[in-house]
């Protein structure tokens, strides 16, 4: 039986005020509740010690703080934390927290249960689409990490929407959650990134949002034939159309686009491929994020060798296209999106 109680994390300021007024309390108590949730990182109503005891009891019984139920957590040797959550309807999603030596604490969160895009090397794409997450479900993933970090004197500094799902397939909820991360968690727009496989109309729409949020494009191939083989979305929008939309985005926002490129040994990691990519991106305000492939059970590709990755970076530099090789994190706990869910459901 589903829980019909209101979720405090799903309420805006007027909604919180209305809830406490309905419980016989003045509206300002709603502000206190929100301050505990977002400024102090309270994870239970009992922690909200300046609320009247009677109100705390009513909220504990009559409302929830979030709807996600943690199934399992893994921690990597490099400090990466990966969590599997169950949604109220039983579907599973993943979230990851990555700590860095410079003090950054970055959450990678999901926007859908499963994914409809079908990218062949992605564990989430291999499982198919189940449903969109609500704005509150997306936001809650970031809030959970933020609340826990606050309680140990740290803060969530960055969020990347690169977990399970295609954010622009769930556009309104994803962008709404981003706005809440900015307003309620205090995370600057430039410290939030949305990743897409390249839904061109959504990229154009996003350019008009007026947000300084980062945009990352999963490119992975510089020719139509190769991209269609890796990303079925390439059958709908060819590479030229996608890059044109990125140029429009840069012209409107003056923001750099990041291109994600999974380096797959023997498939898209050659110097020749780097030259093709350099020609494609030359003159565009962009950065290429080279990601050694995270192997999955249903795709037999392997990550490229370090020497080949270094050559790829060098070739791109010759075209004035900056590129870096992402440090692989959480490999010992299968930190690629969808991998923990796959393993747990298999078990």
With a cut of 70, say whether residue 192 has pLDDT above it.
yes
One-character DSSP codes across 265-281: TTTT-SHHHHHHHHHHH
Quote the CA–CA distance of 143 and 181 in Å, as a whole number. Answer: 8
Mean pLDDT of 254-274: 95
Residue 260 has pLDDT above 80, yes or no: yes
Residue 77 pLDDT class (50, 70, 90 cuts): confident
1-10, 213-222, 262-271, 312-321: least confident range: 1-10
| For residues 256-264, average pLDDT | 96
Q: DSSP strand E in 264-339: where?
A: 286-292, 323-325
Above 80 in pLDDT, residue 342? Answer: no
pLDDT value for 336? 57
CA gap 114, 132 in Å, rounded:
9
Strands of the 192-196 sheet, one edge to the other: 69-75, 81-86, 92-99, 105-108, 158-161, 192-196, 214-218, 257-263, 286-292, 323-325
Tokens at residue 214, please? Answer: 């980062």
What number is the average pLDDT over the span 12-20? 97
- Euclidean distance between CA atoms 13 and 21, whole angstroms: 12
- Residues 174-192 have a mean pLDDT of 98
Is 65 in contact with 318 (CB distance < 8 Å)? no
For the annotated catalytic residues, the residue numbers are 94, 337
Give the DSSP letter string of 109-127. Answer: --SEEE-SS--TT-HHHHH
The pLDDT of residue 340 is 62
**CATH 1.10.150.530 domain position(s) in the chain:** 8-62
CATH of 69-346, one of 3.40.50.620, 3.40.50.720, 3.30.450.40, 3.20.20.70: 3.20.20.70
Mean pLDDT for 11-25 is 96
pTM of this prediction exceeds 0.85:
yes
As a whole number of angstroms, the distance between CA 64 and CA 140 comes to 12
> Binning pLDDT at 50, 70 and 90, where does residue 347 land?
low
**φ, ψ (nearest 5 deg) of residue 177:** -65, -40
- The DSSP bridge pattern shows strands 112-114 and 158-161 to be unpaired
Strands 92-99 and 214-218, sheet pairing? unpaired
Across 5-33, average pLDDT = 96
**What is the fold, at CATH topology level, of the domain defined by 8-62?**
DNA polymerase; domain 1 (1.10.150)
pLDDT digits (tens, 9 = 90+) for 111-131: 999 999 999 888 888 899 999
Q: What integer best gives the mean pLDDT of the chain? A: 93
What is the structure's pLDDT at 343? Answer: 53
- The angle subtended at Cα 221 by Cα 215 and Cα 225, nearest 5°, is 130
Q: How many C-beta atoms surround the C-beta of residue 344 within 10 A? A: 13
The pLDDT of residue 262: 94
Q: Where in the chain is the domain with CATH 3.20.20.70?
A: 69-346
């Amino acid at each position: 039986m589903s829980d019909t109680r209101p979720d405090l994390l799903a309420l805006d300021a007027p909604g919180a005020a209305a809830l406490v007024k309905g419980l016989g309390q003045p509206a300002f108590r709603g502000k206190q509740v929100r301050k505990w949730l977002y400024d102090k990182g309270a994870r239970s109503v009992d922690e909200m010690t300046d609320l009247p005891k009677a109100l705390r009891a009513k909220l504990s019984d009559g409302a929830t703080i979030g709807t996600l139920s943690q199934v399992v957590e893994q921690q990597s040797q490099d400090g990466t934390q990966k969590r599997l959550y169950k949604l109220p309807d039983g579907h599973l999603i993943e979230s990851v927290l990555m700590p860095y030596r410079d003090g950054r604490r970055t959450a990678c969160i999901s926007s859908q249960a499963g994914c409809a895009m079908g990218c062949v090397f992605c564990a989430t794409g291999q499982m198919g689409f189940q449903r969109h997450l609500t704005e509150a479900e997306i936001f809650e993933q970031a809030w959970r990490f933020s609340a826990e970090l606050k309680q140990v004197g740290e803060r969530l500094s960055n969020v990347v929407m690169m977990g399970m799902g295609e954010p622009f397939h769930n556009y309104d909820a994803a962008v709404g959650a981003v706005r809440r991360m900015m307003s309620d968690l205090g995370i600057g727009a430039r410290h939030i990134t949305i990743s897409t496989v390249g839904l061109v109309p959504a990229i154009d729409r996003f350019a008009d949002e007026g947000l300084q949020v980062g945009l990352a494009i999963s490119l992975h191939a510089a020719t139509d034939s190769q991209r269609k083989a890796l990303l079925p979305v390439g059958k709908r929008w060819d590479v030229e159309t996608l890059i044109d939309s990125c140029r429009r985005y840069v012209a409107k926002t003056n923001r750099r686009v990041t291109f994600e490129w999974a380096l797959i040994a023997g498939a898209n990691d050659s110097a020749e491929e780097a030259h093709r990519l350099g020609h494609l991106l030359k003159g565009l305000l962009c950065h290429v994020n080279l990601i050694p492939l995270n192997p999955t059970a249903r795709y037999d590709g392997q990550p490229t060798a370090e020497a080949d990755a270094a050559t790829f970076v060098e070739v791109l530099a010759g075209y004035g296209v900056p590129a870096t090789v992402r440090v692989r994190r959480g490999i010992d706990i299968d930190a690629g999106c969808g991998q923990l869910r796959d393993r747990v459901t298999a078990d």
